[in-house]
Structure formats: structure tokens, C-alpha cells
Structure 1
Amino acid sequence: MSTSIWVDYLDREFLDTTFKEWVNSGLVNGLTSNPAIFANALKKDVYKEDFENLKGKSSKEIYEEIAVKDIQKACDILEPLYDEGNDGYASIEVDPRLINDTKGTIDEALRLVDKIERDNLMIKIPANEAGVKAMEELAKRGININATLVFSPNQAMQAAEAIAKGPRTIDGVISVFVSRFDRKLNPVLKEKNLAQDRVGFFNAIKIYNQIEEMGMPNIRTLFASTGVKQDYLPADYYVENLYLPHSVLTLPLDVIEAIKDKEIEESFHFQTKHIDGFFSFLTPAGINMQKVYQELFDEGVEAFEKAFEEMLNSIKG
């Protein structure tokens, strides 16, 4: 199975124009969203009428009504691809404030599934202990799962094993965040004269190798956080290094613009032993990967919670 390209962005105007063009031309075959993406989208004028019509409801209800409408629209645009077995999924994330609440996560996921009513919906859940338990329950109920905020191989395997408890008719993706490693570790690596901008994609490929070894056709690695933060790197740096079979790359708009007229070649497939060889230099350099995994997860959760809270406050405002 080839590499899929999904777009990591959403707003209603975009769905009606560029997104439709990209889907119809075969450039992208899926969409992901998160609390930060919705927080930015809702600042646009296109939502003014919705806010007027939904006056009197709580901020969370207003957000949810709008989010449901937009995800339904994305699912409908992608439906022909889904029908022909070419992905066609749109992902929506549960409220990030439910991070440690398994029951709350399950209840919210089921409510979103009932409201959105689309077979090509994926529910996005952070891969911590509470989230993994929720994934297992939801997978057993036949719901497609996007395990998000994955940084460590251990997290990835727990999420994949939870999704594997569901029927083979569902699809699951393990969203491994990439660029945040390099942004965090480059200063230390530079100081120690070690190669920069490698940890992100090496870690992602290590997880990809583990997922592939499971031999589950319906569970794939999704490479997320693929926007480049370093000015000296090309916009499609992570695409060039992570274009691997039976995987998904979810990309921000600028990266899709950078690749849309390119013929992308399959990336060099690093074996885990080579990656572990590189990682063996990190410990003597004072980098504890377990600590890095936890810090990045905590930072990711905090960023999504903050974006969500700010969005709800702006709706009130």
C-alpha cells in the first residue's frame, strides 16, 4: 500500500475551495484536525453567521456544532475516496481537557460519532493511559481511531495493540509527532557536534518499523507535526525522509504547496539497528530520550488544552 497524504488543516472556506480541488486531483486523500486548528479557523469571518445563529448556547456547544458541521463537510468531500477504499478519512479530536478521563473520552467520542454520522470519520484520542483504554473500548465498538500525541515507541505499541482489539473492518492510525523533537534537541546536538534534524524522523521510522512488524493491514503509522521549524531546511524535508509505504503523512498547507507539483520518491528505509546506533550517541551527550518523550507529550497536551480554552473564551467574548 502506497503512502497517503492527508491535509493537517481545516476551515470552511478552505473545504469549499482548495481542499475540494486537492481531493479531486488526487493530491490528498484525508484530513486531520486538532484543537489548535479549530481555534485558528474560528477566527475567520466565514463563521460569523454560525455564531449569531447559536447565541445562547454554551461556548462548548457552539464549538461542537460548528466542528461537527465542518467535519461532516470534509467527510462528504472525501466520501468517494472512502467508497473506493482510498482512505477518505477526516479526524476530529475529543476535548483535550478529558486527557485523564477514560469514561469522559468514550462518552464524548460516541456523542461525536452519533452527531457526525459518517462512516469515514476518525476519532482522535491522545495516547496516554486513559486514552489507550478508551481506544480499546471504541475500537471494539467499530469506531476508527487516530491515536495522537505519540512520541515514544512504547506509547505507539500500546495504542496499536488497543486498536487491534477491534474488528479488522476498522482503520487505525498512530500519529507520531516528528518536528518537535528537532526543535527541542537541535541546540544540544549542535553543542555536542552531533547531527541535527535527525532525531524526529529516526524516532518516527523506528516506530513505523514496530507497527509494520505487527502485520496489521488496518493499522498504519501517521507522521504528524511535519512542518519545518528551521529556516535552512526545505519545506518538504520531513516528507523526503518519511515517504514510506503503508503510512500516512499529514501535512500543513505550506508543505502541500511545496510538494504538489513534485514527483516524490520513496524514502530510504532505515532499519531499527541503524537508528539505535545513532541514538546510542544521545545518552553520552546528556539526552535522556524517556525524559524527552514525556516532556514533549506534556507540552503537546498543554498546547492543545490552552488552544481549546482560548477558543472557548473567544466564543464567549
Structure 2
Amino acid sequence: MTTEQLQKIGFSLWCDFVQRDFLDHAFGALLSQGGGLLNGATSNPSIFATALQSPHYAQQKASLHGLDSKSIYEHLAFSDIAKAADMLAPLHQADARHGFVSIEIDPFLCDDAPRSIDEGVRIFKTLNKPNVMIKVPATQAGYEVMNALLARSIPVNATLIFSPAQTKSCMEAFALARRDSLAQAVVSIFVSRIDRAYGSTTLGIANAKECYACVQSFEDPNSRALFASTGVKGGDLPPTYYIDSLLLPNAINTAPLDALKAFLEKLRTGDCESVQPTCTELNHTIDYDKLLDEGLMAFKQSFHTMLESL
């Protein structure tokens, strides 16, 4: 498939990486190389936990001495998110579906809807950028948060989604908010974590397609499926495997840098083909609750470690 064909079906790429030196020196060039297909970015607590240890943050950290660790984190992270939003703003102005960068609510609030809503509103107002998306984990409390934020016209990235049931609950929360808001929303479906958990190379893809079909069935022009956790960890799979296998209409793939660069190179050389792996495994073998609990714990641990380091 070509860049033009992928654009025609409404497929997009987002960069699953936000870090100051990258934004200052490489992100702009990468957006140019993306030819309009690369039109967004995502962050998460694990990405920031690693990024904020870089020496590129030392000067700003020193200027924030005396603040509590979460305030320091927010000053550092918000600076990066604001810069990414500004770099993506021309794409967003040209097409309101594009040009988003996302930042996650404190993962320790995942079961506290009122505090999560307050924090999501505060983050969005503080950043004051229309193309910032607030990431909300798909927990029981999270569905209430998604609805409340979207109803306030705050773009929402529903994250840590593993199951069709979670997908349906997210879309139902979006649908309730659509009476008041046409803000953009995405459903972040995690893919490779399922394969790594079950020693598979196809189960995560089959499951992701089932979740994608659920998103599509709601026929909401302002909500899209976003395939996340699309990095290849070990094995003989090419870095673009979880992109090649999910080149679907009206979908987004947020990919780590190595996969993103490899895929854009394939597009440049005309070597991009959709891969359709055959899966004979049954989705009901997946322990979705365990995967969600592990995902939440990983984000909480990263967030805690980062705050401790500040």
C-alpha cells in the first residue's frame, strides 16, 4: 500500500514517544518524512519515567527546586506536551481529527472518578491547547471519567484496553457524551502485550481486530480505534509487524520509534504490504482482568519511580 492509499482509507500513524531532545531535533523531520500519514503523538508514565532522567531536563529541574515531586513532574512533562502540541498544531488546524498529543492522568487515581475528572480538566486547562488528549485508563471508574471529560469537549484517549467488553464500555461512555460534544476520542487497544503474555504472534492481532470491529459498529465519526503496544520485543518478527498486520480503515497505530521509522522507510521504497496472519487461537483464553491489572501496576510503578527520582 502507498501513503496515498492509506490516507484514503483514513489510516494514521502516531509516534509513541515524547522526550525533549527528540522534540527539539528529530520530531519535526520525522513529521515531514511521514508525508501527512504521521500526524500525532502519545506519552505514558513509562515513557516519562525514562525521559525525565535525561540530562536535557537538568536545568529546568534545578529551577524547580523546593516544589513537591508531582509538581516538578508536571512542569517538566507539560513543557514537553505543550511543545509537541505546538509542533502538531498545523496538522490539527488543517483537519480536526489529526495533530493530537496525549498525556495521562495520574495512574494512582484510576479508581477515583471525581479526582480523575478534576485532574483531567485541570491538565487540559493548564496546557490550554485544543489538540491535547487526556488519557484515561479503561477501568470502571474510567468510563465515568471519559464521559465527563468528553462532555466538556475535552479530547479523550481511553487507554489500557485489552478486551471487546472494555471497548464496548468506552464507546458507550463516548456515546452518552455525544449529546453535548463532538470532541475527538480514541480507544487505545493493546496488542503485543497479549502475544507476549501468551507466547503467540497472532492472538493479540485477532483480539485487536475484534475490538476494532466494536468501535466501527458504533459509527461514531469522531471516535477511532488506536492500536497501541505495537512494539516487537524479541523473536524473529520485523519491527513493523504490528503495523503491517493492522492497516485498517479509520484506525490509528501509535508505534515506538524503531517501528515507525522502519515503516516509513518501507513506504518510501514502495515495499509496504498489508500482512494478514491467520489466528486459530480462541480469544476466550485471554485473562483480560489480569492483563489490565498488570498494565495498571506497570504504569503506577513507573510513575512512583519517576516521582521518587525527582
Aligned to 2:246: 242
How big is each residue's C-alpha offset from its partner over 1:75-129, in whole Å with a ceiling of 9 and x where there is no partner?
Answer: 0000000001050000000000001000110011011011100000100000010
The match for 1:121 among 110, 129, 132 is 132
- Tell me how far apart the structure 2 counterparts of residues 59 and 257 of structure 1 sit (CA, whole Å): 34
- Tell me how far apart the structure 1 counterparts of residues 177 and 134 of structure 2 sit (CA, whole Å): 14
Matched, 1:5 2:5: no
Deviation at 1:258, TM superposition (A): 1.2
Matched, 1:227 2:231: yes
- Tell me how far apart the structure 1 counterparts of residues 159 and 275 of structure 2 sit (CA, whole Å): 23
| Native 8 Å contact 1:243 1:265 kept in 2 | no
| Native 8 Å contact 1:153 1:206 kept in 2 | yes
* Worse-matched range after superposition: 36-45 or 167-176: 167-176
- Tell me how far apart the structure 1 counterparts of residues 252 and 148 of structure 2 sit (CA, whole Å): 24
The residue type paired with residue 123 of structure 2 is: L
| Native 8 Å contact 1:244 1:267 kept in 2 | no
Aligned to 2:298: 303
Aligned to 2:191: 178
Aligned to 1:88: 99
The answer for unaligned runs of 5 or more in structure 2 is 1-8
- Describe the SS at the equivalent of 2:134: strand
How big is each residue's C-alpha offset from its partner over 1:234-260, in whole Å with a ceiling of 9 and x where there is no partner?
Answer: 111111101111000000011012112
Instruction: Provide the aligned length of Structure 1 versus Structure 2.
Output: 293
- Tell me how far apart the structure 1 counterparts of residues 119 and 60 of structure 2 sit (CA, whole Å): 22
- Describe the SS at the equivalent of 1:297: helix
- Tell me how far apart the structure 2 counterparts of residues 122 and 201 of structure 1 sit (CA, whole Å): 25
Aligned to 1:59: 69
**Residues 164 and 265 of structure 1: is their aligned pair in 2 closer, same or farther, counting only changes over 3 Å?**
farther
- Tell me how far apart the structure 1 counterparts of residues 51 and 256 of structure 2 sit (CA, whole Å): 14
Deviation at 1:209, TM superposition (A): 0.8
Aligned to 1:149: 160
- Describe the SS at the equivalent of 2:265: coil
The match for 1:130 among 123, 133, 141 is 141
- Tell me how far apart the structure 2 counterparts of residues 211 and 267 of structure 1 sit (CA, whole Å): 21
Aligned to 2:203: 199
Aligned to 2:23: 15
User: What is the CA RMSD across the aligned residues, in angstroms?
Assistant: 1.6
| Native 8 Å contact 1:7 1:28 kept in 2 | yes
The residue type paired with residue 66 of structure 1 is: L
Deviation at 1:165, TM superposition (A): 2.3
- Tell me how far apart the structure 1 counterparts of residues 224 and 281 of structure 2 sit (CA, whole Å): 24
Deviation at 1:163, TM superposition (A): 1.7
Aligned to 1:191: none
Deviation at 1:267, TM superposition (A): 5.2
Deviation at 1:145, TM superposition (A): 0.4
Deviation at 1:230, TM superposition (A): 2.9
| Native 8 Å contact 1:3 1:247 kept in 2 | yes
Percentage of identical aligned residues: 41
List structure 1 segments (4+ residues) > 6 angstroms apart after TM superposition. none
The residue type paired with residue 65 of structure 2 is: K
- Tell me how far apart the structure 1 counterparts of residues 51 and 300 of structure 2 sit (CA, whole Å): 16
Aligned to 1:45: 55
- Describe the SS at the equivalent of 1:29: strand
- Tell me how far apart the structure 1 counterparts of residues 183 and 87 of structure 2 sit (CA, whole Å): 20
- Describe the SS at the equivalent of 1:217: coil
- Tell me how far apart the structure 2 counterparts of residues 145 and 267 of structure 1 sit (CA, whole Å): 30
Deviation at 1:164, TM superposition (A): 2.3
The residue type paired with residue 50 of structure 1 is: Q
* Worse-matched range after superposition: 28-37 or 1-10: 1-10
How big is each residue's C-alpha offset from its partner over 1:46-79, in whole Å with a ceiling of 9 and x where there is no partner?
Answer: 0001111000000000000111111000000000
- Tell me how far apart the structure 2 counterparts of residues 294 and 230 of structure 1 sit (CA, whole Å): 25
TM alignment of 1:157-172, pairs within 5 A: 157-167=168-178, 169-172=182-185
Aligned to 2:4: none
Deviation at 1:279, TM superposition (A): 4.3
